[in-house]
């Protein structure tokens, strides 16, 4: 079984990825698959044809299109698998834009890759960044910054972005303001919000 804390995907410029994982003992053959759709690797779908097979603990994979987000499925010759992607997306205007996929939930499951992201402000994205983010398929952007920050540096994802923007300012140290905004705007269920705050 893969130790997800030791699995990493790193983009090396625009042309290559380095994928690494903890070496198995004894070594096992690992097949690596790639897709621009993370859902391809969930469920019972066949992952397709592997890009390569290796017994090492690292592989370099050519990046066929730097404008597209890629996801990887690693599978051992015993059938153990792991879905991976870059944790931090390569955006010039928002260097802390991260995918929360792969993290364990309280009930032992894992968050799906490509579904939930966190970032700093989204007011300084380049045109290339905006194109890249729009391709992620975001449907909701929650802005937790203070209203004055939102007004000074508004979120800009460019024309054609289908997302909704929810302004949910959080006063430092205050749970009440956050909960009131969630309840008034109906962004998430009360139970989900309460669980989020625990």
pLDDT of residue 46: 79
Helix locations, the chain, DSSP H: 127-134, 147-152, 176-185, 190-197
φ/ψ (deg, to 5) at 62 = -65, 140
- Domains of the chain, earliest start first: 4-85 (2.60.40.10), 106-167 (no CATH)
Under the banding of pLDDT at 50, 70 and 90, the label for residue 198 is very low
- Two tokens, residue 174: 């205050």
The three-class DSSP label of residue 147 is helix
Give tens-digit pLDDT for 37-55. 988 998 777 788 999 999 9
Q: Quick one: which of 163, 169, 153, 103 has its CA closest to 133?
A: 163
pTM of this structure: 0.82
Q: Quick one: which of 102, 90, 76 has its CA closest to 6?
A: 102
């Amino acid at each position: 079984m893969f130790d997800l804390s030791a699995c990493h995907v790193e983009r090396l410029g625009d042309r290559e990825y380095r994928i690494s994982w903890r070496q198995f003992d004894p070594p096992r053959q690992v097949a690596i698959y790639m897709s621009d759709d993370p859902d391809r690797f969930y469920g019972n779908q066949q992952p397709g044809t592997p890009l390569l097979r290796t017994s090492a603990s690292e592989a370099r994979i050519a990046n066929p299109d730097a404008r597209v987000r890629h996801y990887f499925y690693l599978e051992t010759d015993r059938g153990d698998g792991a879905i991976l992607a870059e944790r931090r997306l390569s955006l010039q205007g928002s260097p802390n834009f991260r995918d929360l996929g792969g993290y364990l939930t309280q009930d032992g499951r894992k968050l799906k890759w490509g579904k939930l992201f966190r970032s700093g402000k989204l007011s300084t994205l380049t045109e290339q960044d905006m194109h890249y983010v729009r391709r992620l398929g975001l449907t909701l952007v929650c802005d937790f910054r203070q209203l004055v920050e939102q007004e000074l540096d508004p979120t800009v994802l460019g024309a054609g972005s289908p997302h909704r923007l929810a302004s949910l300012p959080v006063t430092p140290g205050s749970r009440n303001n956050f909960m009131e905004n969630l309840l008034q705007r109906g962004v998430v269920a009360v139970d989900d919000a309460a669980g989020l705050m625990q």
